[in-house]
Amino acid sequence: MSKHHVTTTINGEETEFLCETQETLLDVLRNTLNLTGSKEGCASGDCGACSVIADGTLVCSCLMLGVEAEGKTITTVEGIADGETLHPVQRQFLEHAALQCGFCTPGFIVATKALLDANPDPTEEEARYWLAGNLCRCTGYDKIIRAVMDAAAEMRGEARAA
Amino acid sequence: MPHVVFAGSDASRFTGGRTELEVTATTFRRLVRELDERFPGLGARVEVGMAVAIDGVIYQDAYAAPLAEGSEIVLIPKIGGG
Amino acid sequence: MNYIIPQSELKVVGTRPVRPDGVDKVTGRATFGADMTLAGMIWGKMLRSPHAHARIVAIDTSRALALPGVRAVVTAADFPDIASEEAFVGEGPMNFRDLSRNCLARDKVLYEGHAVAAVAAASQSVAEAALDLIDVTYEVLPHVIDVEAAMAAGAPILHEDMFTVGIEPKPTKPSNIAKRVAFAKGDAEAGFREADVIVEGRYTTQPVHQAYIEPHACLAQVAADGQAHIYSSTQGQFMVRAYCAKVLGWEIADIRSYPMEIGGGFGGKTLVYLEPVALALARKAGRPVKMVMTREEVFRASGPTSGAVIEVKIGARRDGSIVAAREVLKYQAGAFAGSPIGPGCMCGFAMYDLPNVDVVGYDVVSNRPKVAAYRAPGAPITSFAVESAMDDLARKLKIDPLALREMNGARDGSKTHYGVTHRDIGFLATLEAARSHPHYSAPLKPGQGRGVACGFWFNIGGESSGAVHVNEDGSISVVSGNPDIGGSRASMAMMAAEVLGVPIEHVRPIVGDTASIGFSHLTGGSRVTFATGMAVTQAAERVVDQLKQRAAQIWEIPAEAVEWKDGKAYPAGLNAGAFEPLSLAQIALKAGRTGGPISSEVTLNAQGAGPGFGCHICDVEVDSETGHVKILRYTAVQDVGKAIHPSYVEGQIQGGAAQGIGWALNEEYIYDKDGKMENAGFLDYRVPVASDLPLIEAVMVEVPNPRHPFGVRGVGEVPIVPPMAAVANAIRAATGLRMPDLPISPPKLRAALDAASGAKAA
């Protein structure tokens, strides 16, 4: 079984990898590129733990084939912070204690960044529906939503929302 | 003398249905031995599956827990959690 | 009780610092169970039964072994056939024989998804292909799924050697009823004769899964001399080590167990499924083996908690005082005995001071996955029934539901029906906080309803180890034996920092593997902040004693003449002011000259965990067209002892409430006629998502537990107990319908609404 050669950009770096036809982008990220921040919670696109941004669109990397990454620009959770400097979304998650076990957190961070890229001033309801594809079993979403709203406000240059 | 209560059938099935008892034991360890002497098998059951509440405070696996004069000793199923 | 530091002088405990492991978890750096790799690693996969109940006639692995890339295959024949041995280990009753047979079926498969064989191969795709080449010959047997059907005469029997315990005389025929338990106080019959008002109901709940987002995962390595390493996502590394040793027949010292970050557990990761099998494969293959469950496997073969049938009857005088209560509980255990029937029998009425109580419970096996602990195991089920009945009683008596609970509520000195007298409890304080909360008196619109319900959990202590090391530069390492599932690194570091008088940033908490710290029971039962926190606190106190003694040596004064304050040693008494204070760093620098490393490890078996109580207020709106229930507002009040890190205490309460709301409205195992689960995925097993819920207000009532140095009580279990009845009572208020069967899913509620309006029209 011959492998496919794929050239793509991941977290700002041009990246090449070989993958089998049936391998998902999530498999490639985790098992080939050792980018294990993206998590597999379901492999069916229901939990969002594997969320990545591909050419500006939020996708579940478990639903995308590795070969589909050809020529695309992919951002994973590992690419959200600017070196040592956390992204405001990451910082607000920490300050709000918006995580318990932390397993769904990478997906939420990526999904929230995609939300705020698309809509810098979401209502609470808009944030809840945008994040409805990301499951968290620990927090009841309360602190996550507060973190998202405060991150949005911070990125708009406003004072804390709540 | 410490007063022992078996509220649940887990213990009373060893005691012929008896649910209350005065004992001479002064520690949980001695209580286990005393119960087993009087009702064979109960000591082992207590060790594996039961906790003891002494005057309202629950102890699990604590041989040294003291049973004071007049203490209320209650044997209940052991408690776990999630 | 003397708390070690007066509450008013606390500097770290009670604040909300960023958790020490936080940056790793928001950047993707944290290493969870499936993230670990080792050189030469291969992949293991499990073959599972397609049948709910069948005899295994033969297993032929030869075709699988012949497939290129396959390195090993194991079945139950590769494991010792261990004898029945009952134990109570950490979180619940466990029979090691059952555990072994749950990891790999022997003789019979007892549920769809039951593991039958496992293969290790060079890649995941080869391993999957090899599973198709294992030939298992089954003789399919009749199965039983429903709990009452399993109890009925003539039901298919799962275990020919199961005779109901707790019935006299001892039965002579095998049964699916593993055990009957009973608790009684006073004379319930006589009590009911005194009642002016009686409410009765029959309630059912469905099995629900803990549904942690991280599937079970592990990586095993076995050296040629038999020394093994196991890396896994678990609530207890020591549990993994002990259970693997038991199931494999190895010595505990030959297994070193490493706790990886754990992506949720809620009780579901308190036993082993993959680990012994991965170790056996790794030994056979001579290569490290990684095994990761799919979500489907998680649903079919791990967890869930019991589904149940509960009958409840409560009688009261016209003034609201309850005179008698009765409950019959039938809990599903899954394929092996061991449902949480004991706590189920105790928790429902534990909150009330009742003169006459009669409770009977049954632990029942059927062809479903073996149940695992799930947050306050047993309590949410019984409380759904009892708290629904309490709501009916309040309605019948025309008494405010919280007033009814206050009137009958347990207080210090109240004797429960299981014999224990409550002491130092905060139930009435919790009720008072709920009653005075603005939510309780906020106006509702037409079509909306408000419900309240309460919950109780014992909480536990148990064996824990904690070590505090002063490093060469004066920074602090805190090591514990408990995986951090929801912020325990933060609370351990905070308690140590408080005692040592140093900022939290100087304290780095570490979760040790089984060779790095003393034995610890697993993370569960809301015991870690209480019990492990006690060990860490005591270790920190001993370190302070050492630091004072070292300073005394440096100053050449008696140790008693040294005072420890704000992270520094001060000369005290006659020597006050005689020397400049010594910082931790200065003392650490001279550790070698003053006797060697400064550190302490404390091991203990913590007793006296204080019980916790919760009261939840829920507002709903029901869409009569669809039967959909919208949660409008939710407030959860809880007696938390002392909140070490209040944000994570609130998080426990909010998360527990959300899980309970899912249990109430959506979650259930659905089976087809062949006993196969039809909804083994997150699309069809629907846990609450962000758009299903409002903000959940957590109200912490601090009634300190006098048996903990900071007053801690467990907080993680209680919040899942009240929600199902709180939601059902709110639906009752909004629609006039008592919904006794969970989940109250849209089709079920719509049918009930249609039936009610049809009845009205007719």
Please give the pLDDT value at position C2. 55
Identity of residue C195: A
Contact of A95 with A147, CB cutoff 8 Å: yes
Chains C and B touch (3+ CB pairs under 8 A): yes
The DSSP secondary-structure symbol of A31 reads I
Q: Are C659 and A137 in contact (CB < 8 Å)?
A: yes
Closest Cα partner for C235 from B22, B36, B80? B80
Q: Are C487 and A97 in contact (CB < 8 Å)?
A: yes
> C-chain residues within 8 Å CB-CB of A103?
32, 212-214, 261-264
Pair C16, C160 in one domain: no
Q: How far is B39 from chain C (nearest CA, A)?
A: 15
Pair C278, C149 in one domain: yes
Q: Which of C574, C606, C638 is the last residue of a domain?
A: C606
* Cα(B32)–Cα(B14) distance, integer angstroms: 13
Terminus-to-terminus CA distance in chain A, angstroms? 55
Closest partner residue to C262 among A36, A37, A101, by Cβ?
A: A101
Please give the pLDDT value at position C693. 98
Q: Does C656 contact B at CB distance below 8 Å?
A: no
Contact of C717 with C375, CB cutoff 8 Å: yes
* Cα(C483)–Cα(C476) distance, integer angstroms: 19
Interface test with A, best of C290, C297, C689 (most A CBs within 10 A): C689
Return the number of CB contacts < 8 Å for A and C.
Answer: 190
- Domain segments of chain A: what residues? 4-79, 88-155
Q: Are C524 and B49 in contact (CB < 8 Å)?
A: no
Structural domain A4-79, CATH architecture: Roll (3.10)
Note the ipTM here. Answer: 0.97
CA angle (C333, C92, C514) in 5-degree steps: 130
Of chain C residues 367-426, which have a CB less than 8 A from chain B? 373-377, 416-424
Where do we find the tokens 């704000």? Answer: C566
C510 lies in which domain range? 7-30+461-606
Residue C411 inside a domain? The answer is yes
Closest partner residue to C181 among B10, B48, B75, by Cβ?
A: B10
Closest partner residue to C605 among B55, B61, B74, by Cβ?
A: B61
Q: Does the pLDDT of residue C336 top 60, yes or no?
A: yes
Contact of C485 with C461, CB cutoff 8 Å: no
Helix ranges (H only) for C698-745 are: 723-735
Please give the pLDDT value at position C1. 45
Residue C306 inside a domain? The answer is yes
Confidence of residue C4 (pLDDT cuts 50, 70, 90): confident
Cis peptide before C169 (omega within 30 of 0): yes
Q: Are A39 and C264 in contact (CB < 8 Å)?
A: no
Closest partner residue to C485 among A20, A77, A101, by Cβ?
A: A101
Q: Are B8 and C418 in contact (CB < 8 Å)?
A: yes
B: neighbours with 3+ CB pairs under 8 Å?
Answer: C
Confidence of residue C398 (pLDDT cuts 50, 70, 90): very high
Would you state the structure tokens that stand for residue C630, as one six-digit string?
């919208």
Please give the pLDDT value at position A160. 58
Q: Are C340 and B80 in contact (CB < 8 Å)?
A: yes
- Mean pLDDT over C299-314 rounds to 98
> C-chain residues within 8 Å CB-CB of A93?
22, 26
pLDDT in tens, A74-85: 999 999 999 999
Average pLDDT, chain C: 96
- Mean pLDDT over C214-239 rounds to 97
> C-chain residues within 8 Å CB-CB of A62?
none
Return the number of CB contacts < 8 Å for B and C.
Answer: 134
Q: Does C303 contact B at CB distance below 8 Å?
A: no
Closest partner residue to A94 among C26, C210, C659, by Cβ?
A: C26
- Domain segments of chain B: what residues? 3-77
Q: Does the pLDDT of residue A162 top 80, yes or no?
A: no
- Mean pLDDT over A51-76 rounds to 98
> A-chain residues within 8 Å CB-CB of C213?
39, 41, 47, 49, 101, 103-104, 135-137
The DSSP secondary-structure symbol of C530 reads I
- Give SS3 for C598: strand
* Cα(C542)–Cα(C540) distance, integer angstroms: 5
Residue C341 inside a domain? The answer is yes
Q: Does the pLDDT of residue A151 top 80, yes or no?
A: yes
Instruction: Look at the domain A88-155 and name its fold.
Output: DNA polymerase; domain 1 (1.10.150)
Contact of C184 with B7, CB cutoff 8 Å: yes
Q: Are B74 and C91 in contact (CB < 8 Å)?
A: no
Average pLDDT, chain A: 96
Q: How far is B41 from chain C (nearest CA, A)?
A: 14
Indicate the number of domains in chain C.
Answer: 2
Pair C379, C511 in one domain: no
Cis peptide before C646 (omega within 30 of 0): no
Q: Are A137 and C266 in contact (CB < 8 Å)?
A: yes
Please give the pLDDT value at position C762. 64
E strand or H helix that includes residue C585: helix C584-589
Please give the pLDDT value at position C91. 61
Instruction: Look at the domain B3-77 and name its fold.
Output: Ubiquitin-like (UB roll) (3.10.20)
Q: Does C213 contact B at CB distance below 8 Å?
A: no
- Mean pLDDT over C591-612 rounds to 95
Q: Are A47 and C213 in contact (CB < 8 Å)?
A: yes
- Give SS3 for C70: strand
pLDDT in tens, C573-601: 888 899 999 999 999 999 999 999 999 99
Closest Cα partner for C214 from C265, C272, C277? C265
- Mean pLDDT over A65-75 rounds to 98
> B-chain residues within 8 Å CB-CB of C463?
61
Q: Does the pLDDT of residue C342 top 90, yes or no?
A: yes
Residues in chain C: 762
pLDDT in tens, C521-569: 999 989 999 999 999 999 999 999 999 999 999 999 999 999 999 999 9
Q: Are C31 and A145 in contact (CB < 8 Å)?
A: no
Please give the pLDDT value at position C5. 81
The DSSP secondary-structure symbol of C15 reads -
Of chain C residues 419-478, which have a CB less than 8 A from chain B? 419-424, 457-463
* Cα(C670)–Cα(C685) distance, integer angstroms: 9
Closest partner residue to C657 among A39, A125, A140, by Cβ?
A: A140
Pair C465, C412 in one domain: no
- Mean pLDDT over C367-383 rounds to 97
pLDDT in tens, A11-42: 999 999 999 999 999 999 999 999 999 999 99
Confidence of residue C51 (pLDDT cuts 50, 70, 90): very high
Pair C388, C252 in one domain: yes
Would you state the structure tokens that stand for residue C140, as one six-digit string?
């399919």
The 3-class secondary structure across A74-134, one letter per residue, is: EECHHHCCECCECCHHHHHHHHCCCCCCCCCHHHHHHHHHHHHHHCCCCCHHHHHHHHHHC
> C-chain residues within 8 Å CB-CB of B72?
421
pLDDT in tens, B4-50: 988 788 888 888 888 888 999 999 999 999 999 999 999 988 888 88
pLDDT in tens, C290-303: 999 999 999 999 99
Please give the pLDDT value at position B78. 87
Q: What is the CATH number of the domain that holds C260?
A: 3.30.365.10
Q: Does the pLDDT of residue C89 top 80, yes or no?
A: no
Closest residue in chain A to residue C689, using alpha carbons only? A132
> C-chain residues within 8 Å CB-CB of B76?
342, 346, 418-420
Residue C288 inside a domain? The answer is yes
Using only C-alpha atoms, what is the Rg of chain B?
Answer: 11
